[in-house]
Structure 1
């Protein structure tokens, strides 16, 4: 009872204390009974008023209507709250009515605590929506997309190319662009030549053009993979990861899908993300066992040696 009263406003604590004193004090005369009765009615009125604040709308499940048919007659006969038989004494009347008040106050307190808890939960959710700390979901091995390249669904923008020097321009111009009947293959092959010569920014620009202009070309898996290589070899691991992941997810049976998955692991190693590197390596070994033990066996073993996976 003490804990319940402490949560209420001071006015209600005073009301209950007054009622308690009324119980403990003797009832010397009818005049005193009438005064106590009036004070108790006032207590009940305050409790009903408080109920209407905590339970707006006048829900009959929690409190009686303020005015009901026959209510005044019941008050005149001493049968307040509808539970006191006519033959009860004044003290019994007070005790029963105080028990009813205490039950109502406990209900009010419990409801107030529920509302406070609901407000606290709402504030937590709002904080999360506004950018508060939110725990990330766990990543399973079926979700290689959980890398920093998770946004690879959209075409990654090409990195800006710095203004080349005169000497570099001459060197790049010395690399001939193929001229065949397959324009798409010519674009890819020129990008490959730039990459092979170590001109990574120029290769990225050329390969991006190929990927955008020829998305259905037979060399598209080669082009996306090589574009990732042009980033990775230039120490741009995060951008490389986006392209490797995109190439692998777009067509897992593509000509260079296996290469992209292995290079995705290498990108994660370069980013010091051991956990995701291990996910990619495990996926590579299970999805492409023949390639892992054949064409890319050396690269696979070299990559595995760089990380400790559970």
Structure 2
């Protein structure tokens, strides 16, 4: 009888040990899989590699001998903790994927904006590329007239326009329109009066009309130069630089070509271009038009060269 009871007890112990071993093996397999997934997540979060991985907060104790086999409650506790780790890894992986998706969306939106902006800037800056490279375009804004130090000579036949008052429409209406029978002459004179009244957008439209319709008229050089002045006085030096350079390039023998080179140097100065570029413009002005410059403009060139430390 005792022999039978001992055999039954031994069989039960062996069966219990087998179940515990099977459960322990299953847990170890899940832990190994979790470790592999955690390393993959760490590579996503810390692409730098070594030295940036997260060390586990729970480490096995050393030199600890645990006799016997783990009880059912201990295995259940480990299983629950492994399941919690699996949930955390899944959540972290999903979060990393969402962050990567948002980052791709931001990059795509920025690239689209950059392409659109570059295309618009290139179209507006092609005229100034030979002066000093690509110049950022500043939208014309009526900030009030900021008269340059050395103003160009007004036409001898010009009558100073009275300062307008009232609404914008009333101010424009207060500027008298000339009627000499020469549309190019009248267009330039009217644009000049609008510029004097600080009605810069209206002045630019009138002056652009003269340049477009009468490119061979002597007032085309005057109008293109004054167009640059209108941009410069309105706080748009980049557009002013384009206008001045086009007047000099397309009509170098025009009466206002020297003036345009002079004001081109001032526009580049306002744009904070390198001193070498500004000095190059002053040198070209002296070499090509030195004999045609008035005493006042020569003094202005000398002052500009000193300010830019030209050699």
* TM-score between the two structures when normalised by the length of structure 2: 0.47
More helix by share: 2
TM-score where L is the length of structure 1: 0.47
Flag the structure with more relative contact order, 1 or 2, with Cα contacts below 8 A and sequence separation at least 6: 2
